[in-house]
Amino acid sequence: MKEIKLFAPATVANVSCGFDVLGFCLDPIGDEMIIRKTDQPGVRITKIEGQDLPLSTKKNVAGVAAEALLASLATSFGFEIEIYKKIKAGSGIGSSAASSAGAVFGINELLGRPYSRNELIQFAMKGEVLASGVGHADNVAPALLGGFTLVRCNKQVDVVALPSPSELYATIIHPKIELRTADARSVLKKNIPLNKAIEQWGNLAALVSGLYTDNYELISRSLVDVIIEPERSPLIPFFSELKGAALDAGALGSGISGSGPSIYALSRGEETAKKVRQAMEKVFLPMNIDFDTYVSKINTEGIKIIE
């Protein structure tokens, strides 16, 4: 095999109480990438469509991630990468993670899988360092592994795949406004009250239990963020109206996707997830804000080869 085409899905990180640790994988949106083995060593980004991103390997998240992977192996080959960008940068649904994860996944396939999907996370994280200055795994992990993923420890790249109840559907609304990750980060306080932290970890632990037991009511009660959401939501126009509309329409829970501006909701069943989409769209339609919406089952497969 000298060339593969793959689909690298969008992902939701910072799932309410699971800030910085919990993410899940989406189905209908994702980048397409072609990875080609070449005799010439090194990594070259030969084409990017759909977005204005640097072709220079060292300035492109896919390039940096791919180089990190190659540096770990003694190989004389090189690789060309074409990226057909479908996920908008800065949308909060793991645009950089999809490209980083896609690059390392594709190269790993062409090399005969020297690494497991879980082991690829460490290389994909190098792309995240370039994108945001921080090597976090909470988007690349669900992109690579699919389903819900838990980053127990970023430093040790200790990632646990969690089960995804089969009736769980996500609704995403992406208001097309500019919201820089750096700004979203700067509003966060360095210190938080211990009692709020306890509330947060009680909810996260219960959410994990709900995922294991298909307990949708428990999932719903646990999808609460008492720490980050109160700080960040004011940066997102009409956040409380959107979240309120989602919950009124029957969503189990709703919150900021990644560092925003996208908002996610989780629902039991596709029909409810579609009603939630309608309800969220209804909030935005009278406003002068352009937006995209998606309804997605939880993608339990992660990145996949399409050709």
Give the interface size with a second copy as a residue count (CB under 8 A): 38
Distance CA 137, CA 124 (A): 8
150 binds a second copy (CB under 8 A): yes
Please, are residues 125 and 99 in contact by the beta-carbon 8 Å criterion? no
Look up tokens 């795949």; give the residue. 161
Please compute, for residue 44, the number of CA atoms within 13 A of its CA located in the half-sphere on the CB side. Answer: 11
- 38, 57, 181, 300: the active-site residue: 181
- Work out which of 71, 89, 153, 306 binds a second copy, going by CB under 8 A: 153
285 binds a second copy (CB under 8 A): no
- State the CB neighbour count (10 A cutoff) for residue 21: 22
CB nearer a second copy, residue 103 or residue 162:
162
201 binds a second copy (CB under 8 A): yes
152 binds a second copy (CB under 8 A): yes
183 binds a second copy (CB under 8 A): no
Please, are residues 239 and 283 in contact by the beta-carbon 8 Å criterion? no
**What is the distance, to the nearest Å, from the Cα of residue 8 to the centroid of all Cα atoms in its chain?**
10
Q: Active-site residue 213, yes or no?
A: no
Q: Active-site residue 181, yes or no?
A: yes
- 288 phi/psi in degrees, rounded to 5: -90, 50
CB nearer a second copy, residue 2 or residue 189:
189
β-strand 78-84 against 42-49: which pairing, if any?
parallel
Smallest distance, a second copy to C-beta of residue 200, A: 6
Please, are residues 271 and 169 in contact by the beta-carbon 8 Å criterion? no
Give residues 161-180 in contact with a second copy (rule: CB under 8 A).
162
The residues of the shown chain that bind a second copy, judged by CB under 8 A, are 17-22, 150-153, 158, 160, 162, 188-194, 197-209, 212, 218, 221-222, 227
- Residues that are catalytic: 128, 181
